Chains A and B, each alone.
Chain A
Amino acid sequence: MRATDGKLLAVNSTGCLEVFSTPYPESSWQLPWLHSLFGNGPAVAAGVAAALRARGRDDIRVIGQAGDGGTVDIGFGTLSGMFERNDDVLFVCYDNEGYMNTGVQRSGATPPAATTANTKALGPEPGNAFGQGKNVPLIAMAHEIPYVATATVAELRDLEYKVERAMSFRGARYLHVFVPCPLGWGAASADTIKLARLVKETGMFPVFEAERGEVTEVSRIRRQVPVEDYLRPQRRYAHLFGDPGRPDSVARLQASADRNIARFGLLPEGTRDGEALRDHPRHRLQPCQQDRLVAHRARGLHEPDAAVQRRLPGRGEHPGLALRG
């Protein structure tokens, strides 16, 4: 709301967000808000943007919102269309890694090994299968839309900054927000933020920004922890740690986190300074992208302090508590 001066219109797909914010006949949305179906949020949002354009109201901005099911699965076709047409919409996916509203079913964003109502801890590969699922932030980047970013609820200032940044662009923008679901994951409510913090610190969920298909900034890991620290507090991974447990699966999850770390250059400043990105044999970024990262670094954009200051308006009074950007 602040990023758009209050001139904002929201389109929502079915999901938990609707369940708790709009129990009929009430609504907690204090802005024009539209619901159509589970699978067509991006299309409706694109339509609203087109209607506004037709009426010459380019001062009113549009956001679309959905859970990961509504985004990466059923709404995916319309999302891709919205990206492809570069419709002037910021689409936000609240990723709780499953269809939570309807009782914790697997989605294309459910991570390997996690148990859900339909990926039980049974059989030779208990929980969700390895090697499936999709990474929509990267797919969004492949559309070369103006802005793609990921964020977690553990870094609210960063999230705030990214929404503001997204609103400084016109055209299709995508923000993928990692949101732990205590109920669906079998975790303590009080650990919600902690888990979101750990997922980034393990490297399992890279937090970054990209413009027109190129990574422009990554939130580096501050205190790297093994994936186990993140997995253990969640009941959906309990089968990995039982007796005998599945150390092999844990190792596979660790390997995928390590791959993210190498691919996005997530290690703290000073530890590797981007070699991971340049030297890793499997890196996918093009040389021009690396140059860009290096250029950013040269401009100080990767210095934690510069990032912190930029993202934390008003935080100067208590630098003892500089939230990490």
Chain B
Amino acid sequence: MEDNPFPAIMGRVCYHPCETACNRGQLDEAVGINSVERFVGDEAIRQGWTVSVDVPPTGRHVLVVGAGPSGLSAAYHLARRGHTVTIREAGPMAGGMMRFGIPRYRLSRDVLDAEVRRILDLGVTLELDAKVTDLMALKDEYDAVFLAVGAQLGRRTYIPAGSAAHVLDAVDMLRDLETGEKPLLGRKVAVYGGGNTAMDAARTAKRLGASEAVVVYRRTQDRAPAHESELAEAEDEGVLFKWLTTIKQVDAGKLVVERMELDDSGFPQPTGELDELDADSLVLALGQETDLSLLDGVPGLVVDDGVVAVGPDLMTGCPGIFAGGDMVPYERSVTVAIGHGKRAARHIDAWLSGAAPEPVARPAPATFDTLNTWYYADAPRSHRAVLDRARRESTFDEVVLGHDESTALLEARRCMSCGNCFGCDNCYGVCPDNAVIKLGRPGESYLIDLDYCKGCGLCVAECPSGAIQMFPEEI
């Protein structure tokens, strides 16, 4: 929790790019980092872990606009650095897209509430139903501002529609559902788009009683931006797909669709072949845009392609105003949003104190070829269980279940500790010249006595985790 206030949430919704990078993937299968994170996060909630502010108050006051993952993460890290933080949130509850986008069957609201509560318990002030409409009017009350308003507006596209056609937006639909309004979709629902939002809209439609949910997307499956796991889960739940298809017209009860073809550059081109598709409603999931009207008149702030330009320190063109999450030009995910919150907090802290931000130590990644995997036991990955299909079709219960303690521990132990000594004593044992000294002090367990080391490289070759490096001596 030093880095991330949301382990239980991340252990559910993160697309875990870390697992793609995990070295164990080259041995058998990547460590289930995400499942372990979820277990740890859930344990922290179960055991009621709290965090504390261990520095004296700085007397500085920071405004955070938006209580999505990015704003909450920034608030957490700013509060822990002793700043007074006020979050202004337009909606009725905190969480942003974690609450009003990601459906309950992927993220239990109890988990969300518990992790948000832990942040507010640090003394962060959260003002709900407090949309910021004019930042300039507020700015001077605070020493710095972090903007994290996300991307709330469903992108539109022009489709000719009959007067009785029922067209709605995916983000609106998911938001309505969360605020207790059950959207009227009918029995046959078409969803337009190929991203994660489209998958969530279709899976939600199924749960709301639609007998058929069809995802219509203009490219092929392998080019759909939705993550593989979400596509697979949607497919499992009986969601249908119409790839290489665009929608030409919406009428009551049906759609006119056109078949597409990929050209040489992989771009979909119309073929002129039309077809009809029965659909009582059409849900648009074509991406989201940011409502930047609150930023009118902010001097120096640059908007490019609908998002706010920021430097590597996440400061906008206006000194003291920082921004992160979906409203800045990066990959849009909860993961990135949380990371931005932390990074912004570090830079805001530095900006407020006038000091250079403390550098982040990032050791070079330990690559697979530096490991000696012989020493690791064969251990196949444990995959998380999923809810049975009947319950997935009719309820909003969490689909992916967590590991129990022993499975989580087993999975965690599959980690090879790449690049980090874990005290196996191999180097101590194999050194032919007894040049490895065992200190046994925490964090400093071994020392190489260079007066005795002959540079044979055995310890380097036999260190399981690639934690020892040998450099030619400069003479």
Contact = CB atoms under 8 A, between A and B. Distances in A.
Interface of A: 153, 156, 182, 188-194, 197, 308, 318-324
Nearest to A304: B377
A192 B416 contact: no
A223 B458 CA distance: 21
B461 A191 contact: yes
B188 interface: no
B430 A320 contact: no
29 contacts: A156-B430, A182-B456, A189-B456, A189-B458, A190-B456, A190-B457, A190-B458, A191-B461, A192-B432, A192-B456, A193-B430, A193-B458, A193-B462, A194-B462, A308-B377, A318-B423, A318-B424, A319-B413, A320-B413, A320-B414, A320-B415, A320-B417, A321-B377, A321-B422, A321-B424, A321-B464, A322-B377, A323-B375, A324-B377
A193 B461 contact: yes
- Interface core residue of A153, A190, A322, A324 (most chain B CB under 10 Å): A190
A321 B376 contact: yes
A187 B374 CA distance: 20
B5 to A, nearest CB: 28
B329 interface: no
Given A156-B429, A190-B458, A318-B422, 17 more contacts: A156-B430, A182-B456, A190-B461, A191-B461, A192-B430, A192-B432, A192-B458, A193-B462, A194-B462, A197-B374, A308-B377, A318-B423, A320-B413, A320-B417, A321-B376, A321-B422, A321-B464
A308 B378 CA distance: 13
B15 to A, nearest CB: 25
A324 to B, nearest CB: 8
B379 interface: yes
Nearest to B417: A320
A8 to B, nearest CB: 18
Contacts of A189: 456-458
B199 interface: no
Interface of B: 374-377, 379, 413-417, 422-424, 429-430, 432, 456-458, 460-462, 464
Contacts of B460: 190
Contacts of B424: 318, 321
Nearest to B416: A320
A308 B413 CA distance: 16
Classify the interface of chain A: helix, strand, loop or mixed: helix
Nearest to A317: B423
Nearest to A189: B456
Contacts of A321: 375-377, 422, 424, 464
A193 B457 CA distance: 11
B456 A320 contact: no
Nearest to A28: B434
Nearest to A223: B374
Contacts of B415: 320
A279 to B, nearest CB: 27
A9 B440 CA distance: 30
Contact of B376 (A153, A156, A320): A320
Contacts of A192: 430, 432, 456, 458
Contacts of B461: 190-191, 193-194
A309 B351 CA distance: 55
A320 B377 contact: yes
B454 to A, nearest CB: 8
A189 B379 CA distance: 31
B456 A318 contact: no
Output the residue of A188, A191, A192, A321 with the most chain B CB within 10 A. Answer: A321
A320 B420 CA distance: 14
B377 A319 contact: yes
A191 B121 CA distance: 56
Contacts of B423: 318
Contacts of A153: 430
A308 B376 CA distance: 12
B98 to A, nearest CB: 32
Contacts of A191: 461
The 10 closest A-B pairs by CB, nearest first: A190-B457, A189-B456, A320-B413, A322-B377, A190-B461, A156-B429, A193-B462, A319-B413, A190-B458, A321-B375
A193 B423 CA distance: 19
B410 to A, nearest CB: 8
A105 to B, nearest CB: 22
